[in-house]
């Protein structure tokens, strides 16, 4: 059973916490994490790119010159791809890039990502995080006191607008909820900061 230190907002260690082995202590599955990251990035794509084919560009209704006798190559339309203002051959059209991932694979990938962060000592548990008002400077103090990497992900147990708005202008700092946590955000961060209440929620969901 992995054990990590619990810190307060000043970066001082206050206690230790035992994390569930089946969530934070498994052997990471790289294929499962790869599948989830690829699917996440693909699902961010809008797929709205579009080009006009020769049937969609304006003009080109009349044959530019007769078929024979001119000495020039035969042409049927001035809107064929080789012409200026012609249509695009085999260009991109609107499509969906959506990828589905099996629920069991998603759960395995999430556990693998969390376990990898624990194994690499890139996961910090915070006793509590409370701010009286929206203050970027106060949030920056918390981040600096925890001695995190450049990219930090704060995982909150529930929505907190004060913390979110205090952190959003700090470069490299991102906040998310347990309910919206995903594998890509975990792996993309140098350090994961879990609130103590968020740990119990994660264990409740993925146990």
* 68-105 residue pLDDT tens: 999 999 999 999 999 999 999 999 999 999 999 999 99
Backbone torsions φ then ψ of 63, nearest 5 degrees: -65, 125
Give the pLDDT mean for 184-204: 92
**Residues 105, 68: Cα–Cα separation, whole Å:** 64
CB atoms within 10 A of CB 64: 14
* 118-156 residue pLDDT tens: 999 899 999 888 888 999 999 999 999 888 888 999 999
Structural domains of the chain, with CATH? 3-45+99-206 (3.40.1370.10), 47-96 (no CATH)
């Amino acid at each position: 059973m992995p054990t990590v230190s619990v810190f307060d907002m000043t970066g001082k260690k206050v206690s230790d916490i035992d994390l569930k082995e089946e969530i934070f202590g498994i052997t990471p599955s790289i294929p499962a994490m790869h599948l989830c990251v690829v699917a996440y990035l693909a699902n961010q794509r809008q797929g709205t790119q579009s080009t006009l084919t020769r049937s969609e560009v304006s003009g080109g209704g009349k044959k530019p010159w007769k078929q024979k006798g001119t000495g020039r190559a035969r042409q049927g339309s001035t809107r064929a791809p080789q012409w200026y203002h012609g249509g695009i051959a085999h260009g991109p059209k609107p499509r969906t890039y959506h990828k589905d991932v099996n629920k069991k694979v998603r759960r395995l990938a999430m556990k693998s990502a969390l376990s990898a962060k624990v194994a690499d000592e890139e996961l910090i548990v915070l006793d509590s995080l409370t701010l009286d008002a929206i203050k970027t400077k106060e949030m920056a103090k918390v981040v600096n006191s925890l001695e995190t990497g450049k990219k930090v992900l704060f995982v909150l147990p529930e929505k907190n607008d004060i913390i979110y708005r205090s952190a959003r202008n700090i470069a490299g700092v991102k906040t998310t909820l347990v309910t919206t946590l995903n594998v890509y955000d975990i792996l993309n961060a140098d350090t994961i900061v879990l609130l103590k209440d968020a740990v119990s929620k994660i264990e409740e969901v993925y146990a």
